[in-house]
Structure 1
Amino acid sequence: MNLLPIADAATTRRLTWRLLTRRPWAPAGVAALFVIAAACGLAAPALLGVIVSTVDSDGPAGTIVAAAVGILGAGALAAFLTAYAQAAMARLLQNALADLREDVFATTLRIPQASIERAGVGDVLSRVSGDVEAVGEAVSGVLPAFTSAAFTIILTVTGLGVIDWRFAVAAALAAPIQVLGLRWFLGKSGPMYRRVRIAEGERTGQLVEAFEGAGTITSLGRGERHSARVASASREAVELSMGATKVMARFWNRVNTAEFVGLASVLAVGYWLTSSGLAGIGMATAAALLFFRLFDPIGTVLAEFDELQKAFAGLSRLFGVLQHKGDPEVDGGWTGSAGRLEVRNVSFSYTPGRLVLDDVSLTVAPGERVAVVGASGSGKSTLAALIAGIHPPGEGRVLLDGEPVETGRAAASGVMLVTQEVRTFSGTVADNLRLASPKADDAALDAAVRAVGADWVGELSEGLATVVGEHGVALTGEQAQQLALARVALAGPRLAILDEATAETGARAAKRLDRATAEAVGGASALIIAHRLTQAAAADRVIVMEAGRIVESGAHDELTRAGGPYARLWEAWTRHARGTAVTSGGSGTG
């Protein structure tokens, strides 16, 4: 399995900064709020020191009252500013995350299908769900709290130095233990969290596969086998998570040791300075309280590194998606001249050593309609997928007007694929049609609908504005295929590939859809993967495939007279059609 790219640490930091500075003044304003809030927070230890000094020297009671009022006022202001700063930062980060989420989603839609298949659906789903959730949790609470604590630490250490530089040196004795503990933790936890995210993606993939194929799995009696796969993937994810928890517990032992060393050092220096007459008891009290005040913010900073590691791992996977070369947005409406398709000596295999296409070459002249027929498994749909840029050829080349059709970027060349798996998206009829041409006006939509015979659109309660799909009007198979063909008419591709696009319909609907197909394609070149041989009979030329190779090519009449593979297919088809007509009371198959 080839996972989608994961951005390295340097790239993740660079792209994160670029994302935040899309609103350049916001980070500076938030930083200013945190500085003011942290400065207000320093007032309480300093004023407590004033109270201790006043009591020790039998100073005036008014000084004590003023200091107490100052403590209350500074505390209230610090709490208000901290809450406001954290809320402002959360808004800034949420806006940045919304931008990132939209960028990732848009890029995911443009990633070539082959890349998605190689990566596995679990990898993609875990990024746009689990990774976004991990980053969202960090944005909502972790990063604002982390930033507030970081500013408090910086200003508190500065305050210790202002009281007496020796207090700052004593407090700094805890730093090596904290830094070494943090380095150890980051080195252990970072790779572990990345493995956890990958394992969770694998588990998601196994669950999706089991749910989607539940009917087949049950009918074949393979439930235990798939349950064992899900259990194995879940067990791996849990074991990795437990390992990360053990690492975090050992890290907190180091943090507690650092706090003990730092506080003991500050108290020892305070005792020495007061005993030597170099500092008053009020200064020593303020210094001890300042260092004690560091416990919470330092604990917050170190603790939140755990969550930040998870968020950073998620960010690297999200930015990795953005690094993937995706198909650019295409506005539809190519309306260029019909393209000339050339497939030159193309071979392809999904697994090494098992060729699905073997040295296939063909040409579709501008405006020509070529039908490809053959038994199931002969390679027809794979050929269509390669021409449509879904998979890259293993060998050979696919050219449109002499230019290579790039994997995942065929739409930019004017190639449009319609398969039998037609999707109707939740939204209005107009929304579904504008997928092919976002700027098309209602008049163009009406023309496309009429061209493919979808008169039923006008009979809907709100016409083009009628909501269809999961949360609206349910469309029949024929109606959904007509919408797909109307998209072709709107887009005006240079080459239309119809992979059994009208296969899942009855005989009468098939006749209507065949006419709709002809109207939708218009003057474009067309490659039609034909399920019904009536489609082949109406084409300019027919290509017959067997076992991944082209075995015949020519006009319908020419091939039926030749007595080869196509003639045998046609005979079997007409015999089946006559039998169907008799069974259905003469309705015919067209």
Structure 2
Amino acid sequence: MAEPKDVRRATTRLIRADARSFTAVLALNSAAAIAGLAAPYLVGRIIDEVRAGHGTTAVDKLAGAILIAATAQLLLARWARYVGHRFGERTLARVREDFVDRTLALPANVVERAGAGDLTTRGTTDVALVGTTLRDVGPELLISSVQAVFLLAAVITLNPLLGLCGVLGFGGIWWALRWYLRRARDGYLAEGAATSDVAEILTATVTGARTVEALRLEEKRIAASRDALETSRRTRFHTLFLRTVFFPAVDMSYVVPVATVLLLGGVLLQHGAMSLGSVVSAALYVQQLSEPLDEILMRVEQLQSSGASFARVEGLAQAPRATDTGAPAPANDLIEVTGVRYAYDRGGEVLGGVDLTVRPGERLAVVGPSGAGKTTLSRLLAGVDAPTAGSVTVGGVPVVALGPEQLRRQVVLVTQEHHVFLGTVRDNLRIAEPSATDEALWAGLTAVGADSWVRRLPDGLDTALGDGGSATDGSQAQQLALARVVLADPHTLILDEATALLDPTTARHTERALAAVLQGRTVIAIAHRLHTASDADRVAVMENGLLTELGTHDELVAADGSYAALWRSWHGERPGAPG
């Protein structure tokens, strides 16, 4: 969450990025405000002319001047809004681009901790509120502020005493505004956080719907959703309460300065210190102040909401970024895991001291029961997370110290969770290698057995995927992800159940095809299908966060330990049975 000073600094940066348009908006608004001052003054002149008994000629000229001034104000205000809205749209585009850049620069573990719901809310609801402020609230607030300043200056010019009374009469608005601003930012920040929590819980429930049903967690998820909704309701009612106190107090405060100016103006008129026309002009100016002030106060209320949203959007700048750390290039592809321990923030220790060396070009299978720490180990090997203790190095360099581009060329983690991006098949593949030729794309698809169904698509590589395009099932999405791996051509590939969504025959074909393509590369496979282990050079067995066995398939079967038991179970053999 960005601090207020950070939000102000970001706002200043956005204004400087389009300073010419912002200056034009200021100039046009000032001109429109000056044109708006003419009407009350000319009305006062008309009253004085009539009282003096002058003819209708002077009145007609003054009325014509009022019409000209009103027309000029209309045109200038419209032009100012047009320039202001264009300024707002360009600035909003910069905010969105910064948000996307910052989100893509977040390390994977930061994204996971933040949750899809929070990032989605920041990128949609919060960015939309910021956009509304930049496009509508900002220009309107600027226009109203300029108008209010010029109106106050006009009253003071007519009579400093009346101007002072008018300013003091608006004191009630000042106190109401102070009361509101002290509470509003925290209230809207709490409301935004509660909205993110609702989105996070709903997203997690929908994504894991099958798991929820399988484990009969429906009541718990419903209860969690109700708690989040109740918290959201309370935060929204709190901000509503602030508005219901603030706006009525402001409305009452508008009456006081007008009444004060009329009463004091009447006294001055009786003593000959002011003309009737000047008193009417001053009263009209003060009355007109209510419109820009009302607009300002309404926009200030919106600024509290959008300011809280901007703090959440700008808060991504405070998050750690996946940037090049300046670490030296690895001397070789040797992976060494030394005394590694790892514990998640909200749980106990998952890895309790793992030592492992993976030789360049080796095919290593990591097996073990669920919860043994296999996936956690794969994340540490891929540099997604840093070990709590110990080290994971490649070529003598800590994996977590490698920059994004260097890491992508060195180690790639492929899980069973895959995403098909909006765009063509070609776009989806070139994410891994933007300069890849069509020949290279087809070679990558062929390597994972996906070329046949891609050739059947209406436009081949140019076929649009996702919403509005051709649909892809889970296995096809996995094959596209594996084809991207082939194109990325990393030194080390970590497969964490990467073929789990494929049927056994296709999975085995894909794994063997990958093995052939990645010949000479290091492949670490986290596997439940033990045929993957039987094809590997060595097998590592994980149990309760520890590496308990390490050797070839034949050696571990002959040792008759945990791996042998898993192998017999995989083949449906009874413990102790021959074979």
Tell me whether the two structures share a fold, i.e. TM-score over 0.5.
yes
- How much does 1:478 deviate? 4.6
Measured against aligned partners, the alpha-carbon deviations of 1:530-570 in whole angstroms (never above 9, x if no partner) come to: 23333223323221111111011123333333333333333
Task: Kindly indicate whether residue 194 of structure 2 is the aligned counterpart of residue 199 of structure 1.
Answer: yes
- Which whole-Å CA distance do the structure 1 matches of 2:403 and 2:317 have between them? 16
My pick for the range that moved more, 240-249 or 217-226, is 217-226
In structure 2, C-alpha distance between the alignment counterparts of 1:329 and 1:453, rounded to whole Å: 35
2:380 maps to 1:383: no
Residue 533 (str. 1) matches residue 527 (str. 2):
no
Alignment of 1:241-260 (within 5 A): 241-260=236-255
1:142 corresponding residue in structure 2: 137
**Which residue of structure 2 lines up, in the alignment, with residue 506 of structure 1?**
503
CA distance in 1, matches of 2:330, 2:517: 15
CA distance 1:301–1:247, shift in 2 (3 Å): same
Shift of 1:431: 1.0
The answer as to whether partners of 1:485 and 1:516 remain within 8 angstroms in 2 is: no
Q: Measured at CA, do residues 543 and 214 of structure 1 come closer, stay the same or move farther in structure 2, by a change above 3 Å?
A: closer
- Flag the 1:336–1:346 CA change in 2: closer, same or farther, 3 A: closer
**Deviations 1:290-349 (CA, angstroms, capped at 9, x unpaired):** 11110111111112211110000000000002322233599xxxx998622222211123
Structure 2: which amino acid aligns with 1:65? Answer: D
Taking a change above 3 Å as real, the CA distance of residues 262 and 412 of structure 1, as seen in their structure-2 partners, is farther
Q: Return the alpha-carbon distance in structure 1 between the equivalents of residues 332 and 482 of structure 2.
A: 17
Task: Identify the residue that residue 359 of structure 2 maps to in structure 1.
Answer: 365
Aligned 8 A contact 1:340 1:525 in 2 = no
Residues 330 and 394 of structure 2 are in contact (CA less than 8 Å); yes or no, is this contact kept in structure 1? no
> Which is worse superposed, 314-323 or 206-215?
206-215
Q: Distance in 2 between matches of 1:453 and 1:196?
A: 49
Aligned partner (choices 70, 75, 84) of residue 75 of structure 1: 70
Letter in structure 1 aligned against 2:438? D
User: Is the Cα–Cα contact under 8 Å of residues 448 and 487 in structure 1 kept in the other structure?
Assistant: yes
Q: Which position in structure 1 is the counterpart of 2:7?
A: 12
In 2, distance between residues paired with 1:236 and 1:408? Answer: 41
Given the superposition, is the C-alpha separation of residues 99 and 287 from structure 1 closer, same or farther in structure 2, using an over 3 Å criterion?
Answer: same
CA distance in structure 2 between the partners assigned to 1:120 and 1:407 by the alignment: 24
Whether the 8 Å contact between 1:336 and 1:494 is mirrored in structure 2 is no
Query: What are the residue-to-residue correspondences of 1:442-481 with 2, within 5 Å?
Result: 442-456=438-452, 457-475=454-472, 477-481=474-478
- Name 1:579's counterpart in structure 2: none
Q: Deviations over 1:464-513 (max 9, x none)?
A: 11223454334455543332222112112232111121233334313321
Q: Which residue of 2 aligns with 1:400?
A: 394
Q: Is the 8 A contact 2:126 2:313 kept in 1?
A: yes
**Letter aligned with residue 232 of structure 1:** D
Aligned with residue 558 of structure 2, among 547, 557, 561: 561
1:373 positional shift: 1.5
Please show how residues 187-586 of structure 1 align to structure 2 within 5 Å: 187-217=182-212, 222-328=217-323, 339-350=333-344, 354-406=348-400, 412-413=406-407, 414-456=410-452, 457-475=454-472, 477-575=474-572
CA contact (8 A) 1:37 1:77 kept: yes
Alpha-carbon offset, residue 12 of structure 1: 0.5
Distance 1:543 1:223, change over 3 A: closer
Measured against aligned partners, the alpha-carbon deviations of 1:268-303 in whole angstroms (never above 9, x if no partner) come to 332233223232222221111111110111111112
C-alpha distance in 2 between matches for 1:166 and 1:554: 95
Change beyond 3 A, Cα 1:373–1:116: same
- Label 1:43 to 1:100 Cα distance change in 2 as closer, same or farther (>3 A): same
Of stretches 18-27 and 211-220 in structure 1, the one that deviates more from structure 2 is 211-220
Larger displacement relative to structure 2 (343-352 or 495-504): 343-352
SS of match in other structure, 1:326: coil
- Calculate percent identity across the aligned residue pairs: 36
Task: Give 3-state SS (helix, strand or coil) of 2:342's partner.
Answer: strand
Where 2:433 maps in the other structure, the secondary structure is: coil
How far, CA to CA, are the matches of 1:249 and 1:560 in structure 2?
75
C-alpha distance in 2 between matches for 1:367 and 1:519:
12
Q: Distance in 1 between matches of 2:139 and 2:28?
A: 12
- 2:366 partner letter: V
Aligned letter for 1:27?
A: F
Give the whole-Å Cα distance in 2 for the aligned partners of 1:310 and 1:324: 22
Q: Which runs of 5+ in 1 are unaligned?
A: 1-5, 577-590
Contact 2:361 2:521 survives alignment (8 Å): yes
**Within the alignment, does 1:107 sit opposite 2:91 as a pair?**
no
Q: Distance between the aligned counterparts of 2:276 and 2:467, measured in 1?
A: 74
1:181 aligns with 2:176: yes
- Once the 2 structures are TM-superposed, how far is the Cα of residue 388 of structure 1 from its aligned partner? 2.0
What secondary structure, in the 3-state scheme, does the structure 1 residue paired with 2:528 have? Answer: coil
- My pick for the range that moved more, 199-208 or 182-191, is 199-208
Distance 1:114 1:477 in 2: 24
Secondary structure of the 1:21 match is helix
Instruction: Tell me the distance in 1 between the aligned counterparts of 2:233 and 2:22.
Output: 38
Report Cα offsets for 1:224-259 as digits up to 9, x if no partner.
443333233222222222222222222234323432
Q: Which amino acid aligns with 1:145?
A: E
Alignment-derived partner of residue 587 in structure 1: none
User: Helix, strand or coil: the match of 1:503?
Assistant: coil
8 Å contact from structure 1 (residues 348, 358) kept in 2? yes
Whether contact under 8 Å (1:392, 1:407) holds in the other structure is no
**Distance of 2:276 and 2:415 partners within structure 1:** 84
Q: Kindly state the Cα deviation for residue 217 of structure 1 after the two structures are TM-superposed.
A: 4.3
Deviations 1:450-471 (Å, cap 9, x if unpaired)? 4444331344332211223454
- Give, as a single letter, the amino acid of the residue that structure 2 aligns with 1:179: W
1:37 and 2:32 are equivalent in the alignment? yes
Q: Is the 8 A contact 2:478 2:501 kept in 1?
A: no
- Tell me the secondary structure at the aligned position of residue 7 of structure 1: coil
Task: Tell me the C-alpha RMSD between the 2 structures.
Answer: 2.6
Query: Partner amino acid for 1:499?
Result: D
2:228 corresponds to which letter in structure 1?
A
Contact in 1 for aligned 2:331/2:395 (Cα 8 Å): no
Whether 1:55 and 2:50 are equivalent positions in the alignment is: yes
Number of residue pairs matched? 567
- The aligned counterpart of 1:586 is none
TM-score (norm 2): 0.91
Task: State how far apart, in whole Å, the 2-side matches of 1:421 and 1:244 are.
Answer: 40
* Contact 2:170 2:256 survives alignment (8 Å): no
Looking at structure 2, the residues matched to 40 and 135 of structure 1 have their Cα atoms a distance apart, in angstroms, of 31
Structure 1 distance, partners of 2:180, 2:26, is: 27
Distance in 1, matches of 2:457 and 2:141, equals 55
User: Is the 1:452–1:519 contact (alpha carbons within 8 Å) kept by the matching residues of 2?
Assistant: no
For the residues of structure 2 that align with 1:213 and 1:573, how far apart are their CA atoms? 27
- Report deviation, 1:524: 3.0
Alpha-carbon distance change, 533 to 223 in structure 1, aligned in 2, over 3 angstroms: closer
Q: Which residue identity does 1:384 align to in structure 2?
A: S
For residues 508 and 420 of structure 1, what CA distance do their matches in structure 2 show?
17
Shift of 1:429: 1.2
Q: Distance in 1 between matches of 2:224 and 2:29?
A: 49
Which amino acid in structure 2 is aligned with residue 235 of structure 1? E
**One-letter amino acid matched to 1:177:** G
Q: Secondary structure at the match of 2:470?
A: coil
Gaps of 5+ in 2: 574-579
